[in-house]
Amino acid sequence: MRSMRVPSPIRPSGRSRRGGVVGVLAALAAVAALLAVPAAPVQARAGGLDDPFYDYTGSTPLADLAPGTVLNTRTVPYSIQGLPLPITATQLLYRTEDALGRPVVNATTVVKPLVPLGEPKVLSYQSFYDSLNPADQPSTVIAGGQGLGAGNVNVETLIFAPALLAGFTINIPDTQGQQADFAAGPEYGVTTIDSLRAISRSDATGVGTSAKIGLLGYSGGAIASEWAAELVAERAPAIARRIVGTAIGGVLVKPSTNLHYISGSQVWAGVAPMALVGIARAYDLDLSPYVNARGRAIMKKLQNAPISQVLGFYPGLTWTDIAKKRYPTPESVPVYVRIANQLIMSTGGTPTSPMFIGQGTGGELEGTAAGGPGIGKGDGVMVAGDVRSLARRYCDRGVTLQYRQYPLSHFTTVALWLPEAYGWLLQRFAGVAAPSSCGSIAAGNSLAPISVER
């Protein structure tokens, strides 16, 4: 659905307490600026949501505003399945860009600590809400959203609650943008970076322009955190200087590899058409010439689906089940190849602060067999060889990086990764020198661009 894009005057043709806190997190992981409305406004609604907060009605075209400009602000009770908690959240609507570089609006949610401790410090938590429905994004869910698709954001409250109690300000951006562009990695990074600009410019957040920032994200949240880390130096150098570290796990490094890895799997196979819907939406692609009747039916059904309505619903699904016979592989579709190569991590830049990366290898536990040459083992959806190659590439570029590999699946790895990632970030905020495992990371897969198969 593309009808709600924000119009632009120029539209391109074609983003201490350490021990106690970590202990709490280990247990939790196991549980799974306001603009006045002038005359002759430029109207724009984000995501098709029936909520005026997401409307930008300023007279200045978005293209003429700086990324991160705050467009609207509100305070809401922090809700879980529509039940308000005794804490409030500040939500900002801000200017950012979509996957094609077009100016759009997006939202982020800021939760202030009940008891601030010292100077402000920001944990930017990138959600794994993973949905093609804008109603499942964090800002909407936190403001009172209900339903199965809202469940991921509800559960994630447990993840950052200890940081909130430890005096951190929590930033939770709608990483996929207001059109829910699932799997469009660079866009995730841009929305995250511009959310950090916005919260730094807003008096309502109390963050200011010098607070230290840490990035944390798993799975879909790792997509946003990693792309933000690699794009921020060029896009927002002032923000880059404030980032003390990025901790990610369950990482989607080279989506073209993952598409083959999950093909035919019992749990994760349906993520392939879900990702194709998200990428097509983000990059204005028409994939209808390439898919067969079954493919069209599945992709139509998934237009507003959360990942909870995909996992396990398409066991054994393969590319050939959804594509026309003249396109026997994804690589035989030129438009797919062009976009897939833009989604390979490390192609947009290099992080300028330390990283902690964790990845599982027990994908068989979730019904995904190890892949053949060039793929190998993964956690059921993410490919460990790709993640190791990303880590080694960043090591070669001078990034101080610690890599951890776990013998578990995507869902179960988080219980081991999260306490380590959290403890690692706390040390970065404390100014402790980051550890490195750069000399001991095993070789991985090729991250070279894929080619069109004729």
Tell me the pLDDT band of 48, cut-offs 50, 70 and 90.
low
Strands 83-97 and 121-126 turn out to be unpaired
Q: Are 219 and 253 in contact (CB under 8 A)?
A: no
Task: Inform me whether the pLDDT recorded for 49 exceeds 80.
Answer: no
Query: 326-351: per-residue pLDDT in tens?
Result: 999 999 999 999 999 999 999 999 99
Lowest mean pLDDT among 33-37, 87-91, 146-150, 208-212: 33-37
Query: 303-325: per-residue pLDDT in tens?
Result: 999 999 999 999 999 999 999 99
Tell me the pLDDT band of 454, cut-offs 50, 70 and 90.
confident
Q: What pLDDT is attached to residue 25?
A: 36
DSSP-derived secondary structure for 232-259: HHHH-HHHHTTEEEEEEES----HHHHH
Q: What pLDDT is attached to residue 117?
A: 84
Mean pLDDT of the chain: 90
d(CA 358, CA 245): 14
Residue 43 CB coordination number (10 Å): 10
Q: Are 233 and 135 in contact (CB under 8 A)?
A: no
Which residue in the block uniquely carries the two structure tokens 């190998």? 376
Which residue in the block uniquely carries the two structure tokens 């944990």? 123
Q: How far is CA 272 from the centre of its chain?
A: 17
Strand, coil or helix: 356: strand
Task: Inform me whether the pLDDT recorded for 15 exceeds 50.
Answer: no
Q: What pLDDT is attached to residue 257?
A: 98
Q: What pLDDT is attached to residue 39?
A: 28
| Better pLDDT: 55 or 29 | 55
d(CA 128, CA 141): 13
Taking alpha carbons only, the member of 54, 222, 221 closest to residue 153 is: 221
Residues of the chain by 3-state class (helix, strand, coil), percent to 5: 35, 20, 45
Task: Inform me whether the pLDDT recorded for 37 exceeds 70.
Answer: no
pTM of the model: 0.90
Q: Are 248 and 356 in contact (CB under 8 A)?
A: yes
Please, what is the Cα angle at 199 between 11 and 191, to 5 degrees?
35
Query: 82-125: per-residue pLDDT in tens?
Result: 999 999 999 999 999 999 999 999 999 999 998 888 899 999 99
Q: What pLDDT is attached to residue 20?
A: 39
Question: What is the average pLDDT across 291-306?
Answer: 98
CATH of the structural domain 18-245+401-428, one choice from 3.40.50.1820, 1.10.150.110, 3.40.50.300, 3.40.50.150: 3.40.50.1820
Tell me the pLDDT band of 44, cut-offs 50, 70 and 90.
very low
Question: What is the average pLDDT across 224-232?
Answer: 99
Q: Where are the domains of the chain?
A: 18-245+401-428
The first and second tokens of residue 407, run together, are: 């013998």
Q: What pLDDT is attached to residue 41?
A: 34
What's the first-to-final CA gap in the chain, in angstroms? Answer: 31
d(CA 421, CA 425): 6
Taking alpha carbons only, the member of 254, 105, 263, 94 closest to residue 183 is: 254
| Better pLDDT: 61 or 48 | 61
Q: Are 358 and 404 in contact (CB under 8 A)?
A: yes
Burial of 345: CB neighbours in 10 Å, binned 0-12, 13-18, 19+: buried
Task: Inform me whether the pLDDT recorded for 151 exceeds 70.
Answer: yes
| Better pLDDT: 191 or 1 | 191
Q: Tell whether the torsion through CA atoms of 188, 193, 195 and 196 is positive or negative.
A: positive
Contacts of 53 (CB under 8 A, 6+ apart): 72, 74, 91, 93, 107, 143
Please, what is the Cα angle at 392 between 386 and 397, to 5 degrees?
130
Question: What is the average pLDDT across 264-292?
Answer: 98
Query: 389-425: per-residue pLDDT in tens?
Result: 999 999 999 999 999 999 999 999 999 999 999 999 9
Query: 358-367: per-residue pLDDT in tens?
Result: 999 999 999 9
Question: What is the average pLDDT across 1-21?
Answer: 33
Question: What is the average pLDDT across 143-151?
Answer: 93
Question: What is the average pLDDT across 228-253?
Answer: 98
Query: 195-209: per-residue pLDDT in tens?
Result: 999 999 999 999 999
Contacts of 209 (CB under 8 A, 6+ apart): 200, 201, 238
Question: What is the average pLDDT across 246-266?
Answer: 98
Q: What pLDDT is attached to residue 200?
A: 98
d(CA 217, CA 248): 5
d(CA 401, CA 391): 7
Contacts of 356 (CB under 8 A, 6+ apart): 245, 246, 247, 248, 401, 402, 404, 420, 421, 424, 425
